[in-house]
Structure 1
Amino acid sequence: MNTNRRVAVIGLGSMGGAMASTLHTAGWDVIGFDPSEGARATAAEGGITTTASLEDLAGTPYAVLSLPSAAIVEATVPTLLATPGVVAIVDTTTSEPGTSKAMAELAASKDAAFVDAPVSGGRAGAATGTLSAFVGGTEAALASAEPVLQALTGGNFAHIGGPGSGNVVKLLNNVLAAANLVSVGEALGVAKAYGIDPAVAAESISNASGGSKVSANMYPNWVLSGTHDSGFSLGLMARDAALAIDVAREIGEQPELLAAAAGQWQEALALLGPAADFTEIARTVAPAVTPAGAPAAGDAA
């Protein structure tokens, strides 16, 4: 066994499970952990070795984190570093810059590397090794983590700056996407009110200066179709949008337009619940353009 190709994947949900599969296919010796027995079973069906104990992964040369929150990252990293041998920890979680800075310092004190590398590309990108990543860390940490980043992104990652900077830019990316989902929905709602087919309006706008991935792909594929099956939850997007505003305000910035959009996501969260697909924001800002329609009483249950 080549110990330099051993990688632990912590968090085997939609994204983590797909990344574990990609690494396995690329020839890495993968062992996965998730507190959910169901997630472990699904990963095992795909040929991934799993463990029910995080402690079993201490000292594994490489680790990929795909976790729900910064707090869980903070609780996980010390366990991985408890045994010597860690080369690099790649945290793909949409986390907080302060946490990443602290974890990078802790890793460095153990002669290991930690990079914050939140990803974009969804489960399809995770399953095919075509994610993009926003990487924060020192040059030395990036060099240590690069073999894993290459496997997950095919080289499509940007070194943003020092520890925590990847988190900042990923949060800004997500709040911009959140604002665009609101604005495109409102625009298509106006088109619909004028008797214009929202699909025709979206296609036309997508070929002009107002176009975006939201108008070209998200609305046609997941909203206008009524499928709302992107695989990314409304709860996570609402969290990311709110966190982006918090990060901005921590340094004295007041992004008013983005904050207003983030507020609309909190309203949608209250109406639809965290498990709803994130594209269901359209049901609250432009219910006429999606077959799913406006939220009904009990949708958030």
Structure 2
Amino acid sequence: MSNNRRIAVIGLGSMGGAMASTLHSAGWDVTGFDPSEAARNAAAGAGISTTAELRDLAGVPYVVLSLPSAKIVEATVPVLLSAPGTIAIIDTTTSEPSTSTSMATLADSHGAAFVDAPVSGGRDGAATGTLSAFVGATDTAVAAAQTVLDALTGGRYAHIGGPGSGNVVKLLNNVLAAANLVSVGEALGVAKAYGIDPAVAAASISNASGGSKVSAAMYPNWVLSGTHDSGFSLGLMARDAALAIDMARQVGEHPELLAAAAEQWQEALAALGPAADFTEIARTVAPAVTPAGAPKTTHVA
């Protein structure tokens, strides 16, 4: 196999593992890394080569990052660039703009491209190569990463602007989704209090100007059903909402409505814990609409 079809996937959790499988199925020579032995074993079970040492992947031509935080991105990229050969690093992490800007500068000094490409579409999109991505990078860096971006998204990515801009728009997307999950829940709670079936209300609203993916899909599929099994954690959404508000304040903006919604996510986090599904926000803002009901006790870390 061509050396330029070699790719490393760093982070083999729900999203990273699915992306690794998609790349493997598309004919890439994939090696995965995760500090978790269980995650590595799961990837190996899908036919993906793995390593327990990040440094083994230094100099691999292409790299996809799917990591929990910007701090881990900052610790990982220098290791990957410690040997020559890297062409492009595609960071799908919901990271921070300043991190992506500094990592792009570092990569460029090593003759490599760094692209912030946080994704949307969940594990199903990752497993089918139909994610959407918010891309921040120079034109040259996007061109270097294009074959990987195409494999992960089927071409469904938007080049927003320079380094860090993908992170800005992804965080705004997530805090909007967070606010919508709160507002739709509250609205359906009112509907139920009037004796209206929340599923009927959600369907009606979804066909009108107040409709959204939250009312049309998330609440019917994961909340009203009581399954709460989207695969995305409440802890991550609470983190993203808080990051979005911090990011806004760094440039002198004070989005009051979004900040209020972000605070409700912090309250849900305290009540339910970080491992809860993110759709369980309904259990704190509109417990009557989900069979799961209100949390019984406050979560203890």
* TM-score of Structure 1 vs Structure 2, range by shorter chain: over 0.9
- CA–CA distance in 2 between the matches of 1:188 and 1:157? 33
Amino acid at match of 2:204: S
Normalising to structure 1: TM-score of the pair? 0.99
- CA–CA distance in 2 between the matches of 1:81 and 1:294? 48
**Residue 298 of structure 1: CA displacement?**
5.3
Which whole-Å deviations, capped at 9, do the CAs of 1:161-185 have from their partners, x for residues lacking one? 0000000000000000000000000
Which whole-Å deviations, capped at 9, do the CAs of 1:143-202 have from their partners, x for residues lacking one? 000000000000000000000000000000000000000000000000000000000000
Secondary structure of the corresponding residue to residue 90 of structure 1 = strand
Which whole-Å deviations, capped at 9, do the CAs of 1:56-81 have from their partners, x for residues lacking one? 00000000000000000000000000
2:104 pairs with 1:93: no
Gapped regions of structure 1 (runs ≥ 5): none
Secondary structure of the corresponding residue to residue 20 of structure 1 = helix
2:160 aligned partner: 160
Written as runs of structure 1 = structure 2, the 5 A alignment for 1:97-246 is: 97-246=97-246
Tell me if structure 1 keeps the 8 A contact 2:270–2:298: no
Amino acid at match of 2:136: G
Secondary structure of the corresponding residue to residue 226 of structure 2 = coil
1:3 aligned partner: 3
- CA–CA distance in 2 between the matches of 1:44 and 1:143? 31
2:264 aligned partner: 264
Written as runs of structure 1 = structure 2, the 5 A alignment for 1:40-51 is: 40-51=40-51
- CA–CA distance in 2 between the matches of 1:160 and 1:245? 20
**Residue 300 of structure 1: CA displacement?**
5.0
- CA–CA distance in 1 between the matches of 2:165 and 2:295? 37
Secondary structure of the corresponding residue to residue 95 of structure 2 = coil
Secondary structure of the corresponding residue to residue 7 of structure 2 = strand
- Show structure 1 runs of 4+ deviating over 6 A: none
2:288 pairs with 1:284: no
2:248 pairs with 1:253: no
1:18 aligned partner: 18
**Residue 297 of structure 1: CA displacement?**
1.4
Secondary structure of the corresponding residue to residue 171 of structure 2 = helix
How many residues are paired up? 301
- CA–CA distance in 2 between the matches of 1:297 and 1:137? 45
- CA–CA distance in 2 between the matches of 1:204 and 1:6? 49
- CA–CA distance in 2 between the matches of 1:175 and 1:298? 24
Tell me if structure 1 keeps the 8 A contact 2:62–2:89: yes
Tell me if structure 1 keeps the 8 A contact 2:94–2:167: yes
**Residue 17 of structure 1: CA displacement?**
0.2
**Residue 203 of structure 1: CA displacement?**
0.2
Indicate the RMSD between aligned Cα atoms, in angstroms. Answer: 0.6
Secondary structure of the corresponding residue to residue 86 of structure 2 = coil
- CA–CA distance in 2 between the matches of 1:5 and 1:257? 46
Which whole-Å deviations, capped at 9, do the CAs of 1:42-94 have from their partners, x for residues lacking one? 00000000000000000000000000000000000000000000000000000
**Residue 6 of structure 1: CA displacement?**
0.3
**Residue 244 of structure 1: CA displacement?**
0.2
- CA–CA distance in 2 between the matches of 1:143 and 1:78? 22
Which whole-Å deviations, capped at 9, do the CAs of 1:98-156 have from their partners, x for residues lacking one? 00000000000000000000000000000000000000000000000000000000000
Secondary structure of the corresponding residue to residue 82 of structure 2 = coil
- CA–CA distance in 1 between the matches of 2:57 and 2:118? 21
